[in-house]
């Protein structure tokens, strides 16, 4: 493997993790707002 691909191979994972943080954060935020609006406990 070339140096470029090895570098990409190491650094691609934090980028994917960042994407997961975005998806989870957005969903959690929506759930908190919905629970507040409907006046029910979050869990």
Partner 1 sequence: MVPNGAGLHQLGSWTVIGLLVLFYGGTLLMTFFIGRKNENADGYMTAGNKVGFGISAGSMTATWIWASSMYASATSGYTYGISGPIHYGLWGALMILFIYPFGKRIRAVAPKAHTLAEVMHARHGKSSQLMLAGSNIVGSLISITSNFIAGGALISLLSPFSFTQGILFMGGGILLYSLWSGFRASVLTDAVQVFALLGAVVIIIPVVFFAAGGPDMFVTGASKLTPQQSNFFSSEAFLNQGAPYIAAVLAYAIGNQTIAQRLFAVREDLIKKTFVTATVGYGATIIGVGMLGVMALYAGIAPLDGDSNNLIPQMAATYLGPVLLGVFLIMIVSALSSTADSDLSAMSSIVMADVYGQNIAKKGEANPKTMLFIGRITMIVATGAGLYFASGKLNILDLLVFVGALWGALVFPVIASFYWEKVTNKAFTVSVLVALACFLPVRFGWIALDGAAGIVVDVLSVIGIGVVLGLMAFGFFGLKIAKIVAAVAILAAAPFAIGFLHDYAVLSGSLVAYAVSTLVCYFMCFRNKANFDFASIKERIGDFDNREEANPEGSGSLLEEKA
Q: Does 33 bind partner 1 (CB under 8 A)?
A: no
Q: Does 29 bind partner 1 (CB under 8 A)?
A: yes
Q: Does 38 bind partner 1 (CB under 8 A)?
A: no
Q: Distance between terminal CA atoms of the chain?
A: 48
List, as one string, the DSSP characters of 1-43. --HHHHHHHHHHHHHHHHHHHHHHHHHHHHHHHHHHHHT----
Q: Does 36 bind partner 1 (CB under 8 A)?
A: no
Q: Does 28 bind partner 1 (CB under 8 A)?
A: yes
If binding means CB under 8 A, how many residues of this protein chain bind partner 1?
30
């Amino acid at each position: 493997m070339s140096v470029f691909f090895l570098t990409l191979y190491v650094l691609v994972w934090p980028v994917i993790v960042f994407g997961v943080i975005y998806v989870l954060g957005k969903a959690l935020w929506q759930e908190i707002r919905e629970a507040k609006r409907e006046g029910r406990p979050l869990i």
